[in-house]
Structure 1
Amino acid sequence: MVTASYPARVTSDDADLGEELVRLASADNFRDVAGPGYPTADGGRVRRGVLFRSNELTLTDEDADALSRLGITAIFDLRDAHEVEAHPDAPVPGSTWRHIEVKGIPMEAVATLESREEGLAVMGEVYRGFVEKEGGRAAFGELLREIAAGTGPQLFHCTAGKDRTGWASVLLLHLAGVAPGTILEDYLTTNTISSATRTKYLGMVREHLGPDKVDVYETVMVADAAYLQQAYGAVDAAYGSIDAYLAEGLGLGPDTLAALRVRLLD
Structure 2
Amino acid sequence: MRVAIAMTSALVLLAPVTPAVATSAQAATGSVFTAATVTQAADGSYTVGWQAPDAGTVAVTATTDASGGGAGTAVGSGGATGSLTVPALPAAPRWYFRLVPAHGTPLVVADRSLHLAHARNFRDVGGYRTADGHWVRMGAFYRSNKLSELDQNELNSLTADNVKLVVDLRNGSERSDDPDKIPAGATYQVADLIDITKGLPTGPDLTLALLLALPFLLKSSKDAEQNLGYRLMVNAPSARIAYRDLMNALASQPASAVFHCTAGKDRTGWGAAVLLTILGVDRTTVYNDFLASNTYYGGDSVRANWLDAAFAEVNRSYGSFDAYVHKGLGLSDATIAALKSRLLAS
TM-score range, shorter chain: 0.7 to 0.9
Partner of 2:118: 26
Would you say the 8 A contact 1:71–1:94 is kept in 2?
A: no
Q: Which amino acid aligns with 1:244?
A: A
Give a deviation string over 1:156-175, Cα, whole Å, max 9, x none: 00000000110110011111
Equivalent-residue separation in structure 2 for 1:98 and 1:45 (angstroms): 27
Equivalent-residue separation in structure 2 for 1:180 and 1:91 (angstroms): 32
Partner of 1:159: 262
Matched, 1:185 2:277: no
C-alpha displacement of 1:103: 3.2
Correspondent of 2:168 among 63, 66, 77: 77
Equivalent-residue separation in structure 1 for 2:309 and 2:218 (angstroms): 19
Partner of 1:205: none
Partner of 2:177: 86
Higher helix share: 1
Matched, 1:56 2:135: no
TM-score by length of 1: 0.79
Give a deviation string over 1:199-221, Cα, whole Å, max 9, x none: xxxxxxxxxxxxxxxxxxx5xxx
Q: Which runs of 5+ in 1 are unaligned?
A: 1-5, 105-113, 199-217
Partner of 1:125: 228
C-alpha displacement of 1:240: 1.0
Higher strand share: 2
Would you say the 8 A contact 1:75–1:155 is kept in 2?
A: yes
Give a deviation string over 1:133-165, Cα, whole Å, max 9, x none: 111001101110111111111110000000011
What is the DSSP-based 3-state SS (H/G/I as helix, E as strand, rest coil) of the residue aligned with 1:48?
A: coil
C-alpha displacement of 1:115: 9.0
Equivalent-residue separation in structure 2 for 1:66 and 1:116 (angstroms): 43
C-alpha displacement of 1:117: 2.4
Would you say the 8 A contact 2:121–2:297 is kept in 1?
A: yes
Give a deviation string over 1:66-116, Cα, whole Å, max 9, x none: 111110110000001100111111121121111111139xxxxxxxxx996
Equivalent-residue separation in structure 2 for 1:265 and 1:47 (angstroms): 6
Correspondent of 1:251 among 323, 326, 330: 330
Q: Which runs of 5+ in 2 are unaligned?
A: 1-40, 47-61, 67-93, 97-109, 196-216
What is the DSSP-based 3-state SS (H/G/I as helix, E as strand, rest coil) of the residue aligned with 1:75?
A: strand
Larger radius of gyration: 2
Identity among equivalent pairs (%): 36
Equivalent-residue separation in structure 2 for 1:54 and 1:186 (angstroms): 12
Q: Structure 1 residues 15, 46: closer, same or farther in 2, change over 3 A?
A: closer
Would you say the 8 A contact 1:148–1:260 is kept in 2?
A: yes
RMSD of the alignment, in Å? 2.3
Equivalent-residue separation in structure 1 for 2:150 and 2:313 (angstroms): 35
Correspondent of 1:68 among 150, 159, 162: 159
Partner of 2:244: 141
C-alpha displacement of 1:10: 11
Would you say the 8 A contact 1:188–1:225 is kept in 2?
A: yes
Would you say the 8 A contact 2:279–2:344 is kept in 1?
A: yes
Q: Structure 1 residues 165, 118: closer, same or farther in 2, change over 3 A?
A: same
Would you say the 8 A contact 2:63–2:95 is kept in 1?
A: no
